[in-house]
C-alpha cells in the first residue's frame, strides 16, 4: 500500500502509458468512493501476506520513476487498450494466485460491488480522478516546448526522449478525459483516500 500512496501523492510528474483514445469514465458518487475504500480496508487483512501491494508488476518495477534525458518523469501507469487506467485492476488480477478469489469476491460484494472487476474498475476511476485533481495540464510543456527540447537532444538520446515526450501527451489526454464530476467527488474525499493508502 505504501507504493501506491507514494505514487498517488507524487503524481505531478507521472507519465501514463496508454494506447488509443480514452474510454468514457464511469461516473463516481461519494457513495462509490466510500464503498470502495471500505472494501479496500476489509481486504487489507486478507492480502497482508500477499506479494501484491495493489500495484501491478510493471508499476512496481518502476516505482522509483522513469529517468532519462528529460529527468524524472515519475512512474509509468498501466492502462487498458482503450486508454483507461488499469493499475488497480492489474493488481487485483494478480491476487487470486495468492488469495482465494471467492474470499475477495465475498468482501467486494458485501460492499455493493457486482464483482471483483467492478470493484477494481471503480478504484481505477478513483485513481484517474485523483491524478486529474493533482496534475494540472498547464504544468505539462506545450508541444512546441517539447519539440524544441527534442531538437537539442543528442542523437543517442533522441529515441528515449521521444518516448518520454509521448508519455506527456498521454498524461494530458488522461487528465483531459477525467469527468469534472468525478474530480469533484474525489477532491471532496481526498483525505479519506490519502488515509487509505
pLDDT digits (tens, 9 = 90+) for 141-186: 777 887 888 888 888 888 888 877 777 777 787 888 889 999 999 9
Task: Specify the residue for cell string 496534475.
Answer: 135
List the one residue out of 100, 110, 92, 116 whose CA is nearest residue 42. Answer: 110
Contact 93, 32 (CB under 8 A): no
**pLDDT of amino acid 19:** 30
**pLDDT of amino acid 1:** 43
75: left (phi over 0), alpha (psi -120 to 50) or beta: beta
**pLDDT of amino acid 95:** 77
Task: Specify the residue for cell string 488515509.
Answer: 195
Residue segments in the chain with a per-residue pLDDT below the cut of 50:
1-23, 55-75
**pLDDT of amino acid 16:** 35
Pairing of strands 15-16, 76-77: parallel
Q: Residue ranges of the alpha helices (H) in the chain?
A: 2-9, 30-47, 57-61, 87-94, 101-110, 116-134, 143-151, 155-177, 180-188, 190-196
24-28 CB contacts, 8 Å cutoff, 24+ apart:
25/84, 25/125, 25/128, 25/129, 25/177, 25/178, 25/179, 25/182, 26/121, 26/122, 26/125, 26/182, 27/179, 27/181, 27/182, 28/122, 28/125, 28/126, 28/129, 28/181, 28/182, 28/185, 28/186
Amino acid at each position: 500500500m505504501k507504493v501506491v500512496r507514494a505514487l498517488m501523492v507524487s503524481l505531478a510528474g507521472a507519465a501514463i502509458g496508454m494506447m488509443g483514445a480514452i474510454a468514457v469514465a464511469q461516473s463516481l458518487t461519494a457513495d462509490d468512493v466510500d464503498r470502495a475504500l471500505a472494501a479496500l480496508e476489509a481486504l487489507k487483512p486478507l492480502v497482508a501476506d500477499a506479494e501484491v501491494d495493489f500495484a501491478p508488476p510493471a508499476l512496481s518495477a518502476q516505482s522509483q520513476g522513469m529517468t532519462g534525458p528529460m529527468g524524472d518523469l515519475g512512474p509509468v501507469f498501466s492502462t487498458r487498450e482503450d486508454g483507461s487506467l488499469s493499475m488497480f485492476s492489474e493488481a487485483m488480477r494478480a491476487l487470486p494466485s495468492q488469495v482465494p478469489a471467492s474470499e475477495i469476491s465475498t468482501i467486494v460484494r458485501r460492499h455493493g460491488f457486482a464483482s471483483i472487476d467492478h470493484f477494481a474498475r471503480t478504484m481505477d476511476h478513483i485513481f484517474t480522478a485523483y491524478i486529474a485533481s493533482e496534475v494540472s495540464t498547464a504544468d505539462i510543456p506545450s508541444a512546441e516546448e517539447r519539440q524544441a527540447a527534442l531538437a537539442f537532444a543528442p542523437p543517442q538520446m533522441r529515441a528515449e526522449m521521444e518516448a518520454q515526450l509521448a508519455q506527456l501527451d498521454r498524461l494530458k489526454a488522461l487528465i483531459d478525459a477525467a469527468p469534472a464530476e468525478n474530480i469533484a467527488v474525489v477532491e471532496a474525499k481526498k483525505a479519506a483516500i490519502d488515509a487509505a493508502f
